[in-house]
Structure 1
Amino acid sequence: MNFIAPLTNVFRYTAPRIAIPRGVGKLSTKGPGCAGSFSTSSRAWSEKVATEGETERLADEVEGENLICWQDGEDVEDFLTRCAPSRMNGKSRIAIKNPWDIERSEGNVESALKMLETPLLEAISDWNTIVADDTLNKSAKSLKKIEHRENLKDLILTTAAQNEVVSGKWIIHAGSNTVDFQWSRIATGTYDGLLGTKAEVLGNNGMGIQVIFVFTPDFRDLKDVKRVLDGVQKALQWKPRSIAYKPLIYSLLKITTENPYHLRPAIFTSRELEETETEE
């Protein structure tokens, strides 16, 4: 591998863009399920901004069924030209990996899920007990619920760490009329080794909002998670009000907004991470 490439990539990634951004323009008709062409006349963002109370809902995702991947040795320009997420079927998922990153294992997923089976069932029972406890006033019951959630979250994350199931992802919601440009920036940053281990984008489900995932190798490494967040904001040339971070173990347990454990579907948001860093 040519180790001069990372320096070249840094310049390519940070240099001012004068012409049409990557991935925006005429598309080839080659490739599975790809559209013929698309165009955009604006970089204005139309994605739904996460507001207080909406962050948890926006952390939900629907995994695509048809995976279309960047191929080793394929130029990122060709990859972006091959398929545009705005024109892909809603059941499709496009992915690109960081070619500069080492191969990583997802850990012992089976063991982690097995270890959590009984504690999760007990957690549901304990929650119902708290709700039904008439000896607690509203304030005391609320504190009990908060403590229950925190203890369960710690248990899940500790079990995941014990089994090396430690990857996670930033979840970005993009408008379907701007997702092609946003994805081109995220995909380029990933290809150039400046973001996380990989990135994915879901196809167009017709609702006007699509989801981009930017993966990091370890949810415990907050410094690296913050580095990737900074890279995402730089790539998009825009700072979202708040985006959610979700560990793989939560996805495996299907912890979305409507989950039986009453957990938030994300372990923190970008705003919370930045506020924690400021306090420190």
Structure 2
Amino acid sequence: MLVFLIRRLGGLVATLLVATVVVFAVLEILPGDPASLMLGVNAQPDTIAALRTELGLDRPALARYLGWIGGMLVGDFGISYTYRVPVAGLIADRALVSLPLALMALLLSTAIAIPLGTLAATAHNRWPDATVMGFAQVGVAVPNFWFGILLVYLFAVTLRWVPAGGFAGWDAGPAAALASLILPAIALALPQAAILARVMRSALLDVLHEDYIRTARAKGLPFLATVWRHAVRNALIPVLTILGLQFAFLIAGTIIIENVFYLPGLGRLIFQAVAQRDLIVVQSLTVLLVATVVIVNFLVDLAYAAVDPRLRDTGR
């Protein structure tokens, strides 16, 4: 188990290091000058030069990269060009919206997909299987922002059960804040649930044909008990892989959904930062998203070891 953890941690650190280099290099070669963009087309050259010096843009690229990395290691992400406030504070404020939204969507997609995928596999080639797979096909084909628009029209405009957009804030109470997030969470969750249900069905169908399942049935164990005690646990390994990937998709999907629902989260922040060419915010947010994905994949690897004890022994 120790070898398993060391290998995974080494891969995590190497991935993050490569990601910082790639993100910094890509943003460095983009056309345009942040100082000129901030001051406008009528700005004087000496004013632009002074602002470049203030922002540190006149320093060599390597020095700026090392300073950026060193600052991130101690929690200092720099100062936003546009907002003139610490980037760490901006990210912390917006994460209070995006992270609960992504977690809600992940929980909803899992709660929907696992039972439906299990139902489809246990009723293979019968009408429940066809029904679940039909809905799953629609969920995969339809983009989440279109789901969001339909949800707003039905539940906010027509029924008036929840707000159509905006975020009430956690100061207004958990109920009001969660009510602001429920429609975006559903819009994010439905397409991911469709994918996850298909994966769960396929994995469970493979497991149900294994010898140990037939042995359990031959010993008199009821079919549903065999499925939940033996088959589902072994079918969860590919499902865990998809869950790890889906968390990354959910974080990335907030860029569109937060703009549809006018949520002040990380998605809108990175969209605004790209539009305003606020390089410090774009760099920090991109690396933060990469780090989130890498850490989630590391946790998925640990979940593999918990589900399949053979991985703890072999270290693979």
- The TM-score, its normalising length taken from structure 1, stands at 0.27
- The TM-score, its normalising length taken from structure 2, stands at 0.25
Greater helix share, 1 or 2? 2
Greater strand share, 1 or 2? 1
